[in-house]
Chain A
Amino acid sequence: MAISKISKFHIFAHLSIKESLLSELQRLGCMEITHIEEKVEFHNWKNIEEDIDYNISVKLNNVKFCIDLLSNYDGKKRSGLNSLFASKKIYSYTELIKIAQQSDYENLYLQCKSFDNELNHLKLEENKLITAEQEIQKWQDLELNFNEIEQRKYIKYTLGSVSKNYFNDLLVDLKKQAKTTIIQTIKEEKNKLYLIVITLKENLPEIEPILQGHHFEIYKYSYSFLGTPKQILKTISKQLDMIAKRRSEIERILTKLRLDNQLIYPLYDILYINQEKEDVKKYLKKSEKIIVLKGWVQNKDIPKLRKRLEKNFTAYEIYFTKPKEDEQTPVSLNNQTLVEPFEVITELYSLPDCHEIDPTPILSIFYFIFFGLCLSDVGYGASLALISYFAINKLKLEKGAIKFFKLLFYCGIAGALGGVLVGSWFGDILNYLPPQLSNLKNFLIQKLPLFEPTENPLPLLILSLILGIIHIYTGIILKFLDNVRNGKLYEGLMDQISWLLLLTGLILVLLKGIMPLSIEKFAWTIIIIGILSIILTQGRTKKNILLKIGSGILALYGITGYLSDVLSYSRLFALGLATGIIAQMFNMLATMVNIPYIGFLFTILLLTIGHTFNLLISVLGAFIHDARLQYVEFFSKFYQAGGVPFKPFTLKTRYIKLEDS
């Protein structure tokens, strides 16, 4: 149980094997390469930055550009859930290397770039045309040619719009001032009129102020299209059609390009791998003929590492050193197979500090039990386990995802066991079994279960609280052991044991009805010892004697914290009950359907939808609430967390899966 033991290593190697050595280490994937801080030992060693190949990042960006562009044209929509389940193509490392050497992406990149530019250009053009179209549509009933309007010798046409509120006044004023003016309405909108005002040029100086005075907005035609508005609109829609045609043509080409260039996905991955290799070079130092690199490796991988290096290289030297007592090392969890999936829960919170104990093994037991109580249905538990089993074995998943589904698999089993305990099989579906099976039903619902939460809720509620007390006690004891391990026995006695005494005493007093009297006396004794030791010790960091006692007494207030912690575990009972009752509700609704002949189809449909829904929310609820109990009630008692994860220098892929070598 624990955090893996880790060692520091230094490798010295001849400059000539730099590239092959790094590739080999990357393929081995078991070491983290870090900065070399020792200034004294390596003070005249140089960085090797000038050797870094920056071209790779340019190439990587270009390939990424192609992938991003082309992935829009694969004909299918992808949601987040789909990408989780999508299976990836498998390549071997040598295949990848070959792809990196052979594939010519430059041409593809240029094509993609030019199509992308063209698409953007088309989009811009299209927007312009659409704006023009909207503008000119307002004037489509105008039978005149926009360009001619400006060229008349004696007559002036003025186009413009005015609000309906001002229109009548405008009309009256115009009539008053100039009799030779004609106004025609071209288009009427909700509260706006589009007008053409025809007048003699000589009258213009009188007319213009009137127009302005009535908020007449003059329209200036600013496009280069020729003809009447109707003709122009025709031209525009023709051009729009052409754009649409060209676009679908480009889309067809891009779809084809995507199909023809499947290799860009592995190409991206191998470039990414190479890029990471270049990035690591920042950490290296070199003298004239030798490079040095430093990092961390898990002790269990050391023999493998030595063997691989010996097989492939001669001009190198490797040293391992144990980390110093106070040195911060990266953390990687290493648990046995059964416990391993539960690392997901620990990692979600935070990895343990490198000097701490890994809480996962103990957490796994509680997580399992609590999940069982929260889900507590045989049907749902079994479904969850089956789905996870299918996912692990049939889908090509990443390592992380497999771990997660293994966790769900265990959780499913826990849920099923919890269901047996309370006699819940898809809620109360067993009640709907034909009467011939009543023996089986009675056994499963009445004989087998230990609890009947719908009839008599208290026993299960009390069990939840007792589990909570055990959980909290475990947390306190773990902290005590941790203190002892670090040679702080007295602190452990003062901070943890005093509380344990007080809490145990209080519990015993609460139970006095069922306990012999002698125990009650004992209980009061340990309560008093507990209280006294808390008052006397909890203020020990304060200087003043009054403050010491004062903070000691204040510390007793912590008892309310423990009370609310314990009550928090009532959620185990409540969530378990909720699962069962919601399931019952769906069963009842589904069997209420009363349509002749095809009614059973609706019943089945309703049952499927209802139970799928309940399964989803119950599992989500159980997962979250169980995690919360671990994080808030359990971890707060002892767990420091804050470990930095161990990140080995390895082959990372995004679009493809690497064959295990």
Chain B
Amino acid sequence: MTDGIILAYLGAALAIGLAGSGSAIGVGIAGTSGAGIMTEDPSKFGLVLILQAIPGTQGIYGLLAGFLVLTRIGIFAGTPAVLTIKQGLLILNACLPIGIVGFFSAIYQGKASAGAIGLIARRPEEAGKAVVIPAMVETYAVLSLLSSILLLNGIVL
């Protein structure tokens, strides 16, 4: 086992851990407000669930990036690659966009979702618009996932 691989592991851990924590916070924020709405109208469960799920995607993106790293360095195949420290650092860097942006965007998306849940509580007919508002935040998570993937792809092992 080389030192480089430790850094690659750290990268995967940061991508999964940070983005996942962000999603957990975001889903929590949205869920609190959703549960509040449902005390008045339990029939909104379906819609609330969708809105609550939206900030959850960052965690999945993080997992995806981490998974890509682990595949890339051959952990699943059972033959870990021999990485130099430089290569390890490159992999670590590639993981940062989705880790950092995933963390923050999920939290703010959770807040936007909570707002959108408030919107459907009062005007259920505007559900479509309510779903689009948190999706605006998601853009940046998608872009960061994209950069992480492209960065990873560019690393020569």
Chain B residues with CB under 8 A of A577: 149
* B142 near A625: Cβ-Cβ < 8 Å: yes
New A-B pairs, 6, CB < 8 Å, besides A79-B42, A80-B43, A581-B67: A79-B45, A571-B139, A571-B143, A574-B145, A578-B61, A585-B64
A632 touches B44 (CB 8 A): no
Chain B proximity of A642: nearest CB distance (Å): 13
Give, as a whole number of angstroms, the nearest-CB distance from B147 to chain A.
9
Q: Whose C-beta in chain A lies nearest to the C-beta of B135?
A: A624
**Please, which residue of chain B has its CB at the minimum distance from the CB of A350?**
B129
What are 18 A-B contacts with C-beta separation under 8 Å? A79-B46, A80-B45, A80-B46, A457-B149, A567-B143, A571-B139, A571-B142, A571-B146, A574-B145, A574-B146, A578-B64, A578-B145, A585-B63, A620-B50, A624-B54, A625-B142, A627-B132, A628-B135
Q: How far is the CB of B145 from chain A (nearest CB, A)?
A: 5
Contacting residues, chain B, for A78 (C-beta < 8 A): 43
User: A70 an interface residue at 8 Å Cβ cutoff?
Assistant: no
Query: Does A146 make an interface contact (CB < 8 A)?
Result: no
In the complex, are the beta carbons of B57 and A621 less than 8 A apart?
yes
B82 at the A interface (CB under 8 A) = no
- Band of interface residues on A: 20 to 34
Of the candidates A348, A461, A585, the one whose C-beta lies within 8 Å of that of B128 is A348
* B47 close to A (CB within 8 Å): yes
The 8 A-B pairs with the shortest beta carbon distances in the complex, nearest first, are A348-B128, A80-B46, A80-B45, A574-B146, A624-B135, A571-B142, A80-B43, A81-B46
Q: Does A524 contact B (CB under 8 A)?
A: no
In the complex, per-residue mask of B54-67: 1 if CB is within 8 Å of any chain A CB, else 0:
10110011011001
| CB proximity to A under 8 Å, residues B104-142 | 128-129, 131-132, 135-136, 138-139, 142
Q: Do B143 and A570 touch (CB < 8 A)?
A: yes
Q: Are B132 and A628 in contact (CB under 8 A)?
A: yes
* A657–chain B nearest beta-carbon distance, Å: 19
Our pick among B43, B64, B76, B129 for the contact of A582 (Cβ within 8 Å) is: B64
- Interface residues, chain A, with chain B CB atoms under 8 Å away: 78-81, 83-84, 347-349, 457, 461, 567-568, 570-571, 573-575, 577-578, 581-582, 585, 588, 617, 620-621, 624-625, 627-628, 631-632
Name which residue of chain A comes closest to B76, CB basis. Answer: A588
In the assembled complex, the Cα of A81 lies from the Cα of B128 at a distance in Å of 17
Q: Evaluate contact between A624 and B44: CB separation under 8 angstroms.
A: no
A624-B67 in contact given A571-B139, A617-B53 (Cβ < 8 Å) = no
Query: In the assembled complex, which residues on chain B have CB atoms less than 8 Å from the CB atom of A568?
Result: 139
Any A CB within 8 A of the CB of B150: yes
Give chain B residues whose Cβ lies under 8 Å from the Cβ of A625.
135, 138, 142
Residue contact B45 to A81, C-beta cutoff 8 Å: yes
Known contacts A80-B42, A585-B63, A348 near B129 by CB under 8 Å: yes
- The answer to whether B149 touches A582, judged by C-beta atoms less than 8 angstroms apart, is no
Which A-chain residue is minimally distant from B131 (CB atoms)?
A624
Q: A574-B145, A575-B142, A578-B61 are in contact. Are A620 and B53 (CB under 8 A)?
A: yes
A570 touches B68 (CB 8 A): no
Which B residues are CB-close (under 8 A) to A83?
A: 43
CB <8 Å contact, A617 and B46? no
Cα–Cα distance between A620 and B113 once the two chains are bound (Å): 15
- Report yes or no: A84 in contact with B46, Cβ–Cβ below 8 A: yes
Task: Give the chain A neighbours of B56 by CB distance below 8 A.
Answer: 617
Q: Which residues of B contact A617 (CB under 8 A)?
A: 53, 56-57, 60
Give chain B nearest CB distance to A64 CB in angstroms: 15
Are A578 and B47 in contact, with the CB atoms below 8 A? Answer: no
In contact, A632 and B136 (Cβ under 8 angstroms): yes
Q: Does B153 contact A (CB under 8 A)?
A: yes
Residue of B nearest to A572 (CB): B142
Which residues in B have their C-beta under 8 angstroms from that of A632?
Answer: 136
Query: Which residues in B have their C-beta under 8 angstroms from that of A624?
Result: 54, 131-132, 135, 138
Chain A residues whose C-beta falls within 8 Å of the C-beta of B42 in the assembled complex = 79-80
Q: Are A574 and B57 in contact (CB under 8 A)?
A: no
A620 CB contacts on chain B under 8 angstroms: 50, 53-54
**Measured CA separation A79–B63 after assembly (Å):** 31
Q: From known contacts A570-B146, A617-B57, A625-B142, infer whether A349 and B128 are also in contact, taking CB-CB under 8 Å.
A: yes
Q: How far is the CB of B155 from chain A (nearest CB, A)?
A: 13
Cβ contacts under 8 Å, A581 to chain B:
64, 67-68
The residues of B that contact A588 with a CB separation of less than 8 Å are 76
Chain B: CB-nearest residue to A585: B67
Given contacts A79-B46, A573-B146, A578 and B76 within 8 Å (CB-CB) = no
- Nearest chain A CB to B48 CB, angstrom units: 8
* Chain B 76-117 interface mask (CB, 8 Å, partner A; 1/0): 100000000000000000000000000000000000000000
A200 to B53 alpha-carbon distance, docked (Å): 70
Identify which of B136, B143, B149, B153 contacts A628 (C-beta below 8 A).
B136
Per the bound structure, the CA–CA distance linking A570 and B129 in Å amounts to: 22
| Cα–Cα distance between A255 and B41 once the two chains are bound (Å) | 22
* Interchain CA distance A620-B60 in the complex, whole Å: 13
The residue of chain B having its C-beta at the shortest distance from the C-beta of A567 within the complex is B143
Determine the chain B residues whose CB is within 8 A of the CB of A80 once the complex forms: 42-47
Residues of A contacting B132 in the complex (Cβ-Cβ under 8 angstroms): 348, 624, 627-628, 631
| Most central of B56, B60, B68 by chain A CB within 10 Å | B60
Q: What chain B residues lie within 8 Å of A81 (beta carbons)?
A: 45-46
CB distance from B12 to the nearest CB of A (A): 13
CB-CB under 8 A from B50, the residues of chain A are 620
Q: Which of A84, A347, A457 contacts B153 (CB 8 A)?
A: A457
Instruction: Point out the residues of chain B lying under 8 angstroms from A575, CB to CB.
Output: 142
Residues of A contacting B54 in the complex (Cβ-Cβ under 8 angstroms): 620, 624
Is B60 within 8 A of A582, CB to CB? yes
Write the nearest CB–CB distance from B66 to chain A, whole angstroms. Answer: 10
When distances are taken between beta carbons in the complex, the residues of chain A under 8 Å from B136 are 628, 632
A50 to B67, CA, bound (A): 73
Query: In the complex, how many angstroms separate the beta carbon of A566 from the nearest chain B beta carbon?
Result: 13
Q: Which of A80, A573, A577, A621 has the most CB of B within 10 A?
A: A80
For A631, list chain B residues within 8 Å (CB).
132
A241 CB to nearest chain B CB (Å)? 30
Residues of A close to B153: CB separation below 8 A: 457
Across the interface, name the chain A residue whose C-beta is closest to B144. A574
Most B Cβ at <10 Å: residue of A457, A570, A574, A582: A574
Residues of chain B with a CB closer than 8 A to A570's CB: 142-143, 146
Closest Cβ of chain B to A459, distance in Å, is 12
Q: Which of A347, A568, A575 counts the most chain B CB atoms within 10 A?
A: A575
